[in-house]
Amino acid sequence: MYKRNAVFNAVNKNNDGEKMAKLGNYNIPEITLNKCISVCNIINSNKDRSISRLELSMLINMSARGGQYSKLINSCKSWGLIDGREFYSITTLGVKVLNPANSNELILSKKELILSNSFFNHLFSKFPNIQHSETTLLQSIEEITGADRSLSIKYENLLRKILFEINPLVKSSFVLNSENNNEADKELSNNILKIISPGISVEFQFNDEGLNAAINLLNSLKVSKIIN
């Protein structure tokens, strides 16, 4: 199993008194990671990286007592980005994700954040090569969670969308730069697409799936303001 960051054990609890989305005993986010990061950037912009429930709802033009707002907040908590009840604060790992020193730190911290969620941790541990397009995704979900078919179908499209977003991050391979390792100077395989920036080298298969994954990764960097 992937190593989990202990700081997020408490994040799975719902502090708003409202039920989080669940598959079996697992809390799952109902909003994509990049959307939650965009919202949490608003909180992160405050000096103390915290904000009241009411103030945040006003800033994003949502009702503080509305169901969609609760879904958004619960998803931010499920991802491990924030905690709190009527007053929200960015978590320790959330601070790393929202304030990375470089693209290497951003991707590594996002990967850690994703795997701090128990569901995705177990999913990628048991099915490391799982894809959002797999026809057996429902069976994989049910094997992990013990959820019945009606519940897994309810969240199927959502989880396919999330997997499409996070797969490039979880499966990225990194080559750290050093004096004796200049990976950028090596000849690239005709079947490999490589994204290189200071400190990292991320490889994708040069096919439709790999190209989509690379685009998704670049969009992820853009959302986090590494690329302006």
- 51-88 pLDDT, tens digit per residue, is 999 999 999 999 999 999 999 999 999 999 999 999 99
Strands (E), 7-64: 22-23, 26-27, 50-52
pLDDT tens-digit readout, 168-210:
888 775 444 434 444 444 444 456 777 766 555 677 776 666 7
| Full domain range(s) for residue 14 | 6-98
Q: What is the mean pLDDT of residues 87-95?
A: 97
Name the percent of the chain lying above pLDDT 70: 73
Query: Could you tell me the pLDDT band of residue 223, with boundaries at 50, 70 and 90?
Result: low
Residue 107 maps to a domain: no
Predicted pLDDT at 169: 85
C-alpha distances (whole Å) from 34 to each of 30, 80, 189, 222 are: 12, 13, 31, 10
- What is the predicted pLDDT for the residue at 65? 92
Phi, psi of 120 (to 5 degrees): -70, -30
Counting the structural domains of the chain, the total is 1
Lowest mean pLDDT among 30-39, 101-110, 127-136: 101-110
Q: Tell me the whole-structure pTM to 2 decimals.
A: 0.73
138 within some domain: no
Within-domain flag for 109: no
pLDDT value at position 77?
Answer: 97
- Please, how many CA atoms are within 13 Å of residue 106, restricted to the half-sphere of its CB? 24
CA pair distance 145, 149, nearest whole angstrom? 11
Residue range 107-131: mean pLDDT, rounded? 93
Rounded distance between C-alpha atoms, residue 34 and residue 216, angstroms:
10
Is 196 inside a domain boundary? no
Q: Do the domain assignments include residue 216?
A: no
pLDDT of residue 177: 41
Residue 173, domain member (yes or no): no
From CA 164, how far away is CA 207, in angstroms rounded?
15
Alpha carbon distance 131, 208 (integer Å): 13
Say if 76 falls within a structural domain.
Answer: yes
Quick check: is 85 in a domain? Answer: yes
CB 196 within 8 A of CB 103: no
Predicted local distance difference test score (pLDDT) of residue 10:
32
Given this model, what pLDDT does residue 69 score?
96
pLDDT of amino acid 155: 95
Q: Which of 123, 203, 196 is nearest to 171 (CA)?
A: 203
Highest mean pLDDT among 10-14, 102-106, 158-162: 158-162
| CATH number (domain holding residue 88) | 1.10.10
pLDDT at 36 over 70: yes
